[in-house]
Amino acid sequence: LQSSGCCIGPGFAEENTGPEEEAMIMTAGNSYLASPNLPDFHGCSPGWSSAFYGAECFDSEVHNYLKNLGKQKSSESQNIDAKKVELEQLLMMETKNYRKTIKFYQKLLQKERRSKGPETKSMLPKLRGQLQEMKSKVQFLELVKKYQMMYAEQWGVESCVLPTVIHNGKTDTLGMAPMDESSLLLYYNTEKHQCNNQNGVRVLQAGTPLGLMAYLYSRNAFLEGYVQQFLYTFRYFCTQEEFLQFLLDRINSTLSSTSLDPSTSLTKICNRSFYILQAWIEDCYSIDFATNTDLLCTLKEFISSKVASLNGYGEHLLSLLEDASARKSGSADQCSSMDKCEEEGEEGRKTLHSLCKKLSEDISGKNFYWKLSKGMAPIAQYQRERLHSSSAVLPKPCSFTEESSVSLAKADEVGPSLLIEYSAQQLCWQLTLLQQEVFLKCHPVHFLNSRALGVKDKCGAVQKTVSAETVSLKVCNLFLSKCVQDQYLLQLLRNADSVSTWVAAEIVTCHTTKRQVSLLSKFLRIAKCCYEQRNFATAMQILAGLENLIIRQLPAWKILPAKVAEIMEELKAVEVFLKSDSLCLMEGDRFKTLPTIPSAHVLAMHVQQLETGGFTMTNGAHKWTKLRNIAKVVSQVHAFQENPYTYTPDFKLQSYLRQRITHFKDADISALAADNCANFHQIPAEKHSRKIQDTLRRMKATFQ
């Protein structure tokens, strides 16, 4: 579900499902189960917003709006199909009107810039207000649509049934009295919101591995964000094989009971198992199944032999696995939904995201502001007014499949001259697209357990001499020993290290101080442009290159213009800001409309800080509060991936940058600097000659 980026933020009252709505869900569930082929499937991955906002993702307004959808008269009963049709029509109509209005707004904006007529000026503010209202309505309808698609909640069970889930649904245990769930899960009570004077709400605090897996079947586990948080963090307490076997055991033991009354526990457990399995495939195929062929074969064999012949779930899951495999091999976007119904509207949503982004840039135009105190200490201010040109972001998708047009030899011949010829903004855009290419391939789980991969809190995140194969996993591995971990984070960090080395190498290989000053200024302006466009990854990579010990000692810094030199302090202030809070980039609503690329190393360090300390309590139960916080921090990866940059790619410049970065990625900066006299402080010839004469005179006096 790609519409998760428009979720309403925290701060809304929690509301339990009312009897009327519960009856509607059960009615819909009965009609849905009655079809033997189960033709109408929906994507059920809760998405990043579920992990980030938790139970506060959907507020009471969403509940009430959905409750009234599909009602022609107040006396008529609710129908889930009528709700779906009406919601789709409303969303399509509002989106179409929004597109038309924003195009009209852009035409007026261009006309106002050319003629500056009084009529246009008076019309623009009114149109901006209308656009903001239309945008909010479209986002609200997308949120309602996502809430309506949580069909899995109809198969949730009460907490007293969770011990039954653990007992595999066998008939000999169903007749027994339920076990005390306190041996499986621990809760703590919180006060209810003012709108509800009921008793306190139970919040999950800790649980055994079996208890945490069983809690996936509890009522509202999808809506409260537990399922998505579990999919991000379960590797801390169970392997992929153990989790899959847990689901398959529940399906196998209850599959024959699905033809019974849908209200029975057996039917609920079976159907909920399929939805959990589908959510796992949709969200984590690339990191769990694509990298573990044995796990994938086990799942396919079970579906083919025991499920496919009984109902439509098996055929749907096999189709889902095939689609996921195709996406893994042919698409870099791993955070998109894998439901076929969602694919049909994918292009329209991309266009809508692009239009929302343009509107935000034209209307608000706010960005970060970094102010220096008298003592040159960086103080981070959060925002500043800044005008963006509408041509800064073009609604054109970027592609990186074309052949490189500049050979390595040609790139070496050109040298750093192209860096001087292109503007800082042009270089910023292309470096951002290159960084985005590798960022879109990562997954929130890649940032977990990074200590086991050798990632440390220092300038060089991963030593060049350490390869992925030689990293020792014995000392600090937080995942279970048999848990397969994808090491894509190392590739991200090596890419960042290559960019930093390239920046330093380009500077020290300049043969004149004047050229070095020009290149230093260019890189500083590129970094400033990057962080203003919220590409913090490239900005921090350039800062790391400029903070190289040899670069900091260059004579060129002394003759660098003061305004340009201040950018260095701004970059340090940005770094302090990024390190200050793990969720600093998720504040406000700007991350939903403006693209963002975080610094991989900074994010990994934040996760490492959350991983510090024990994961289990004295009774052996795993701390779910700790795991939930980790899931919330890493969920921002998917949040940022939903809103990519749409700059127009310059393949010639990108190819040149790739070649230069590749050429210098393993360079020895000290060796390169030693071959260039511009890297050393020069003593004037006359002064040097006078020193020699004085030395000879003193030596002559000693022999007399």
Q: How many domains are contained in the chain? A: 3
Query: Per residue in 678-688, pLDDT tens?
Result: 767 655 555 55
Q: Which residue has 């001259």 as its token pair? A: 417
Say if residue 455 is in the same domain as residue 495.
yes
164, 207, 258, 264, 654 from 178: Cα distances, Å: 7, 17, 22, 15, 63
Cα angle value 491/536/643 (rounded, 5°): 85
Query: Residue 22 domain-assigned?
Result: no
Q: Which of 295, 311, 327 is the last residue of a domain?
A: 327
Query: Per residue in 15-73, pLDDT tens?
Result: 334 433 333 333 333 333 333 334 345 567 778 888 998 888 877 777 777 777 755 54
Closest CA to 561 of 511, 524, 529, 528: 524
pLDDT score for 91: 82
Query: Residue 298 domain-assigned?
Result: yes
Number of H-type helices and E-type strands within the chain:
30, 5
According to DSSP, the residues that pair with 370 across neighbouring strands are 380
Alpha-carbon gap, residue 470 to 454, rounded angstroms: 10
Q: Which of 82-91, 175-184, 250-259, 369-378 has the lowest mean pLDDT?
A: 369-378
Say if residue 493 is in the same domain as residue 595.
yes
Say if residue 105 is in the same domain as residue 163.
no
Query: Residue 338 domain-assigned?
Result: no
Query: Per residue in 119-169, pLDDT tens?
Result: 677 788 888 888 888 888 887 777 777 776 567 788 888 888 888 888 764
Output the DSSP codes for 125-178: HHHHHHHHHHHHHHHHHHHHHHHHT-GGGGG-B-GGGHHHHHTTT-HHHHTSPP
Say if residue 100 is in the same domain as residue 218.
no
Say if residue 579 is in the same domain as residue 640.
yes
Query: Per residue in 611-644, pLDDT tens?
Result: 999 999 999 999 999 999 999 999 999 999 988 9
Say if residue 94 is in the same domain as residue 69.
yes
pLDDT score for 237: 96
Helices (H), 48-117: 48-53, 60-68, 80-115
Q: Give the count of beta carbons closer than 10 Å to the beta carbon of residue 384.
A: 13
What are the tokens at 103?
């195009």
Query: Phi and psi at residue 524, in whole multiples of 5°?
Result: -65, -40
What are the tokens at 226?
């537990």
Query: Phi and psi at residue 157, in whole multiples of 5°?
Result: -120, 160
Query: Per residue in 95-124, pLDDT tens?
Result: 888 888 888 888 888 777 776 666 677 788
Say if residue 634 is in the same domain as residue 497.
yes
Strands (E) located in 269-404? 366-372, 378-385
Q: Which residue has 């290989």 as its token pair? A: 509
> For residue 506, what are the domain limits?
416-459+483-703
Closest CA to 432 of 640, 142, 293, 615: 640
Residue 681 maps to which CATH number?
A: 1.10.840.10
Query: Residue 530 domain-assigned?
Result: yes
Alpha-carbon gap, residue 466 to 449, rounded angstroms: 17
Q: Which of 278, 296, 327 is the last residue of a domain?
A: 327
536 near 585, Cβ under 8 Å?
Answer: yes
Query: Residue 348 domain-assigned?
Result: no
The residue type of 89 is: Q
Query: Residue 471 domain-assigned?
Result: no
Which comes out higher in pLDDT, residue 218 or 192?
218
Helix (H, G, I), strand (E, B) or coil at 372: strand
Output the DSSP codes for 90-109: HHHHHHHHHHHHHHHHHHHH
Alpha-carbon gap, residue 449 to 194, rounded angstroms: 40
- Mean pLDDT of the chain, nearest integer: 76
Say if residue 677 is in the same domain as residue 536.
yes
For residue 11, give the DSSP letter: -
What are the tokens at 464?
């060049």
Q: Please state the length of the chain.
A: 704
Query: Residue 434 domain-assigned?
Result: yes
Which comes out higher in pLDDT, residue 35 or 657?
657
Instruction: Give the pLDDT band (50/70/90) at residue 329.
Output: confident
Residue 271 maps to which CATH number?
A: 1.20.870.10
pLDDT score for 10: 36
Q: Which residue has 């329209």 as its token pair? A: 348
Q: Sign of torsion, CA 31 34 36 41?
A: positive
For 336, how many CA atoms within 13 A lie in the half-sphere containing its CB? 24
Say if residue 503 is in the same domain as residue 651.
yes
Say if residue 577 is in the same domain as residue 636.
yes
For residue 239, give the DSSP letter: -
Say if residue 319 is in the same domain as residue 426.
no
Alpha-carbon gap, residue 17 to 15, rounded angstroms: 7
What is the reported pTM? 0.77
pLDDT score for 72: 52
Query: Residue 466 domain-assigned?
Result: no
The residue type of 620 is: G
Helices (H), 255-292: 265-284
Say if residue 136 is in the same domain as residue 164.
no
257 near 264, Cβ under 8 Å?
Answer: yes
Closest CA to 535 of 432, 438, 637, 606: 432
Closest CA to 627 of 603, 610, 604: 610
Query: Per residue in 200-244, pLDDT tens?
Result: 578 999 999 999 999 999 988 988 899 999 999 999 999 999 999
CA 218 centroid distance within chain: 27
For residue 381, give the DSSP letter: E
Q: Which of 298, 327, 356 is the last residue of a domain?
A: 327
Order of strands, edge to edge, in the sheet holding 185-190? 185-190, 201-207, 622-623
According to DSSP, the residues that pair with 371 across neighbouring strands are 379
Alpha-carbon gap, residue 263 to 574, rounded angstroms: 55
Query: Per residue in 272-314, pLDDT tens?
Result: 999 999 999 999 999 999 999 999 999 999 999 988 777 778 8
